[in-house]
Amino acid sequence: MKYLLMTYGNQEKWASISAEEWPEAIAKQDAFNERYRGTGELIGAYGLGDAAAARLVRRQDGLPAVSDGPYLETKEYMASFYLLDCENEQRALEIAADMPWADQEPVELWPILHETPMADPAA
């Protein structure tokens, strides 16, 4: 079964990490990614840009209407997401608890209930 893991952050949190601490933080995340990519359970890991770079897109008169966004009611925003393919929920929970900062910040785990098969462009 596939699962989505999501982590959250904010500019205050990122600014509290010193330049000297960043290489270790990145190394821990890279080790996590490699460990679960190696088991075949991590399909993809994606870090997101700052919330100030996000855009809201709507359709207006058949055309895209783009505005700055998101307009959050909280200072926290999605910082990264990971796609897992695990044999069961218990295994997905174990992987989520192994995230480098899971002892400091929660990790959301969402089951993926539907997946639309994509056509193979090479076919």
Start-to-end CA distance of the chain, whole Å, equals 26
| Residue 47 structure tokens | 């870090």
pLDDT at 14 over 90: no
pLDDT at 101 over 90: no
Domains in the chain with CATH codes: 2-53+75-111 (3.30.70.1060)
Q: What is the mean pLDDT of residues 54-65?
A: 89
pLDDT band (50, 70, 90) for residue 91: very high
pLDDT at 74 over 80: no
Task: Compute φ and ψ for 58, nearest 5 degrees.
Answer: -125, 165
Q: What is the mean pLDDT of residues 91-97?
A: 96
Greater pLDDT, 36 or 115: 36
